[in-house]
Each structure stands twice: as C-alpha cells, then as structure tokens.
Amino acid sequence: MKIALIGNGAIAKLVTQFCATHANLTIVGALGLASDTVSVGQHSLVYTIADLLAFKPDMVVECAGHAAVKECAGPVLAAGLDFVIVSTGSLADAALWDSVQAAAAKSTGRVKLVAGALPGVDALSAGKLAGLTKVTLRSAKPPKAWKGTPAEKTHDLDAITTRTVIFSGNARKAALTFPKNANVAATAALAGLGFEATTVELVADPGVTQNVHHLEAEGAFGSLSLKINANPSPDNPKTSHMAALSIMRLLENEATAIVI
Ligand SMILES: NC(=O)c1ccc[n+]([C@@H]2O[C@H](COP(=O)([O-])OP(=O)(O)OC[C@H]3O[C@@H](n4cnc5c(N)ncnc54)[C@H](O)[C@@H]3O)[C@@H](O)[C@H]2O)c1
C-alpha cells in the first residue's frame, strides 16, 4: 500500500519508521510547510497537496494539525482516496465537519478517524449502537503543561498545588477554547454522544507527570471507565506516543488479512 503523509514531525517520523519495517506499507512522499526542509524518512517532501497527490498514493494520512485537515480533506477526497485524520479536534468546527462529510459522501475514499490518545473508542462506538446516556472525559496534565492556553488567563498555573479543574463544559466548547488540547475531546464526541452532549473536564494536576485521559460512559450496554496515563512521543512532549501508535494500528489493519 502506498501512503502519503501530511506532516513531517514527531508522528510522521514514528509512522515512517514503522512503515520501513513492513513490506506492505510504503511512504511515497510527504506534504510539509516551508519550515520542513529535511524529511523524517527516505521519502521526498513536497509543499502543495497537488504535488502530494501526484505520487499516486492509495491513502493519505494527516499527522500535521488542524489547518492541514481544513486544507487537504477536500482535495484528497475529491481524488477518491482514503483520508486518515489524527487531528480530530479540527472537526469541532461544525462547518468543516459538514464539508468533510459532504466530500466523503461524494468520494470513493473514506475518512478514517484514529483513536489517537483516547482509550476505548471501540467500546464507546459499539456502545453507541445500543444507545449511550452519558459520556464524560476528564483530561489531566501537570499545571505547567497548560501554559500557552486560555487557562493562563483564568488560573495562576505556577501557584496550583492541588488538583484544579480549569475547564468544565461540553466537548465543542472544550475543543474550540483549547484547540491545542482538542483532539481527545473531539474523538470522544465523534465516537459517542456528539460535541454538545459529551462532558469534558480539563484538569491541572500537580500529582501527574503524564497526560491522563479518563473516559467514562453509560448506556444500554452497561458502563465503562477507562484511564490512560499517556507517555509523550520521543520527539514532541506535547504529543502522546499513542497518537502515532494508533495510526500504525490502522495501517497494519489496512495491510493484513486479519483485522483487530
Ligand atoms: N488524536 C490525538 O489524540 C492526537 C494526539 C497528539 C497529536 N495529535 C495531532 O497530531 C498533529 C501532529 O503531531 P506531531 O507531534 O507530529 O506535531 P509536530 O509539530 O511534531 O509536526 C507537525 C508537522 O506538520 C507540519 N504541518 C503543520 N501544519 C501543516 C499544514 N497545514 N500542511 C502541511 N504540513 C503541516 C509541520 O511543519 C510539521 O512537520 C498535532 O498537531 C495534533 O493535531 C492528535
């Protein structure tokens, strides 16, 4: 399978290394920004989506950020290709989500949203088929990890010594207010009850050293409570290693006879 990447950063590097060990998975090229001058792999870098599609990939994998989803979803789907999205937080923008759904409906390609750092997407989306009544996501990080976000305006992050909720609201507001932390909340919403009915709590916790995501759901299936203590990516402390691993899992499922 020929794969084109969008992005040349931490996730792209891990996915590239993984594909190098799989005979069925070949990275044919990657789309980057002008600042991406050295490829993370043996493949070439290009700077327009048209040049990326000229590699004639079977599938395009976004591992770049919200702007890349907005810029590339239309052309990739218009070319009839599957589009894998890891920056799911971009889809909290209702207009973008509508346009992605419309483009996918007209395309022979499909949009594939990976679980990223959220645990239990399989159980959540299966539970949804029998009806969900409640979905809550609590995401905790060390206080300093919230620097550079709107939490800086509402809280003195350096002074936090106990577990402190810095945001509570629905997944839409969480994703739009904290775009750099939006992906997990958006994935929970998309797999489960939607952006309005999914409750999100963002927490500054001096007692944690990793990103901790705790998903709770209730419905006709029963209830679930899943927590991940996510280690950072080797090359980007802001990105959970799981984000790249979930793309690798998807690619492995695409390339093998038995899917799990
Ligand atoms: N779903 C999840 O749980 C989850 C978790 C972590 C990260 N993510 C998403 O993955 C993205 C990539 O993570 P990373 O750690 O590899 O980031 P990174 O900063 O290491 O790399 C991003 C790469 O994408 C390129 N890029 C940025 N905007 C682009 C655009 N518009 N077009 C083309 N290339 C562009 C950058 O130049 C860089 O090469 C994050 O921005 C985030 O949205 C999702």
Domain with 220, as residue range(s), is 121-230
Average pLDDT over residues 60-82: 98
In a domain, 184, yes or no: yes
Q: Are residues 226 and 246 in the same domain?
A: no
> What's the CATH code of the domain at 183?
3.30.360.10
Give the whole-angstrom CA distance, residue 176 versus residue 167: 12
In a domain, 260, yes or no: no
* The predicted structure's pLDDT at residue 19: 98
Q: How far is the CA of 220 from the centre of ligand 1 (A)?
A: 36
Q: Are residues 111 and 129 in the same domain?
A: no
Average pLDDT over residues 19-35: 97
Q: Are residues 104 and 152 in the same domain?
A: no
In a domain, 104, yes or no: yes
In a domain, 32, yes or no: yes
Which residues are identified as catalytic? 213
Q: How far is the CA of 129 from the centre of ligand 1 (A)?
A: 31
Q: Tell me the per-residue pLDDT of 162-219, one tens digit each, with 9 for 90 and over.
A: 999 999 999 999 999 999 889 999 999 999 999 999 999 999 999 999 999 999 999 9
Q: Tell me the per-residue pLDDT of 101-158, one tens digit each, with 9 for 90 and over.
A: 999 999 999 999 999 999 999 999 999 999 999 999 999 999 999 999 999 999 999 9
In the structure encoding, which two tokens stand for residue 239, read together?
Answer: 């990105």
> What's the CATH code of the domain at 23?
3.40.50.720
